[in-house]
Chains A and B, each alone.
Chain A
Amino acid sequence: MSATLSDETLIQQAQAGRQSAFAMLVKRYEQYVFTLALRFVKNREDAHEVAQDCFMRAFRYLPDFRGEAKFTIWLYRIVYSISMNFLRKQNPDIQSLDDEERPIRLKDEGAPDVSVSMEREDRNAALQRAIALLSPDDSGIITLFYLYEHNLEEICNIMGLTMTNAKTKLCRARQRLKLILEDKFATEMAS
């Protein structure tokens, strides 16, 4: 029955203090929140921490949620904000989470070891690994646009970008992803 309840109903119930509604919201969005957090922080352990913080903050501020924006947009904005704070805490010198100031890391820096044989890996797995090599902003924008199917306006809302900036970022993210795929995963992508 829980699957049939709309987000609005669950939010209203949660705002009224019903614990089961909070639990259903976590179940419904845990994968989305976790995937997006993982795209930003690049590490499963950290992504768990960030995702939990996101839900806690979302619940704390749920009474203020008036439904002016879609719940997912509101929730992903929290994921973005917490992930960025997390990354800045990890590395206070970071000024930008984009790759504009940094070249593409074609040498792995803590990313999955791609030297292992990947003959059995399918195209999707290669794509996932390639996305993991992108900068947080690049992988985030690609995930939001292609996987979560948010439009540019919604992405601007989540990531606090202007329309032109978001479009440019998406375009550059695609170009960088293409470079990585050609450089490291040409075999998998051709299969």
Chain B
Amino acid sequence: MENNFFLTEDMLWDYADDFLSAADKAKVDGYLQQHPEWRGRLDLILSEKRAFTALSLETPDAGFAERVMTAWVSEQAHGRATAPEKGPDRMIYLISAVFGLFICSALVFMFLQGIPAQLPVEVPAVSLPEVNWGGIFGTPVFQYGLYFVLTLLALKVVEKYLHQRQMLDKLKMQ
């Protein structure tokens, strides 16, 4: 095994950086034991590594943090001043809710119309109450209501799309 294993400086760096697999690490350990001259090279690499990690961080000029905060506060203030109102969103939800309620009431009303006013005392033979689906779906309330809700949803999708485009444009500007 030792005959076809040659240690290179890159492999020694990988050994020092702990990149090697357990098997390769064992090979390097074995090689280092048999070739003490490579031990010296490893020590040199470790000392260079220590020098890298001992490097000091650069310090920005005095007042840097304050400048960042001033810019941030000013951007927030500007953002608040120019941000669009949240009104339209709420309005759309409110209209949808009212219409949804209206449609539901209409459906309940239509359903109740299909049930006899007085229930028989005895339980009738197993038969499901017949619902006049044609009557329900054919009512103008349902038809126009459905169109209205679909229109609202389409408007919402368009609004989202425009919002996304606006955000992308902003990002491109940055």
- Chain A interface size range: 35 or more
Interface positions of A from 29 to 82, Cβ below 8 Å from B: 30-32, 34-35, 38, 44, 47-48, 51-52, 55-57, 59-60
Contact A22-B13, Cβ < 8 Å, known A123-B51, A127-B52, A127-B55: no
In angstroms, Cα B58 to Cα A126, docked, is 14
Comparing A94-102, A107-115, A141-149, the segment that makes contact with chain B is A141-149
Residues of B within 8 A of A22 (CB): 69, 72
Query: Is A118's CB within 8 Å of the partner chain B?
Result: no
- Tell me if A56 and B71 are in contact (CB < 8 A): yes
| Nearest CB of A to B47, in Å | 10
Query: Is B61's CB within 8 Å of the partner chain A?
Result: yes
Residues of B near any A CB (own CB < 8 A)? 10, 13-14, 17, 19, 49, 51-61, 64-65, 67-69, 71-73, 75, 174
Q: A124-B54, A127-B51 are in contact. List 10 more A-B contacts (CB 8 A).
A: A19-B69, A31-B57, A34-B57, A44-B58, A55-B72, A59-B72, A124-B51, A131-B55, A147-B52, A147-B55
Contact A31-B59, Cβ < 8 Å, known A55-B68, A167-B19: yes
| Nearest CB of B to A82, in Å | 9
Q: How many inter-chain contacts with C-beta < 8 Å in the A-B complex?
A: 78
- Tell me if B51 and A57 are in contact (CB < 8 A): no
In angstroms, Cα B17 to Cα A174, docked, is 12
Query: Is A165's CB within 8 Å of the partner chain B?
Result: no
In angstroms, Cα B60 to Cα A179, docked, is 29
Query: Is A128's CB within 8 Å of the partner chain B?
Result: yes
Residues of B within 8 A of A120 (CB): none
- Tell me if A34 and B60 are in contact (CB < 8 A): yes
Query: Is A23's CB within 8 Å of the partner chain B?
Result: yes
Name A32's closest neighbour in chain B (CB-CB): B57
Residues of A within 8 A of B55 (CB): 124, 127-128, 131, 146-147
In angstroms, Cα B68 to Cα A34, docked, is 12
Query: Is A87's CB within 8 Å of the partner chain B?
Result: no
Residues of B within 8 A of A51 (CB): 60, 64, 68
| Nearest CB of B to A118, in Å | 16
Name A48's closest neighbour in chain B (CB-CB): B60
Q: Could you show 10 A-B contacts with beta carbons less than 8 Å apart?
A: A30-B68, A31-B58, A48-B64, A52-B68, A127-B55, A145-B17, A146-B53, A147-B53, A149-B53, A170-B17
- Tell me if A146 and B49 are in contact (CB < 8 A): yes
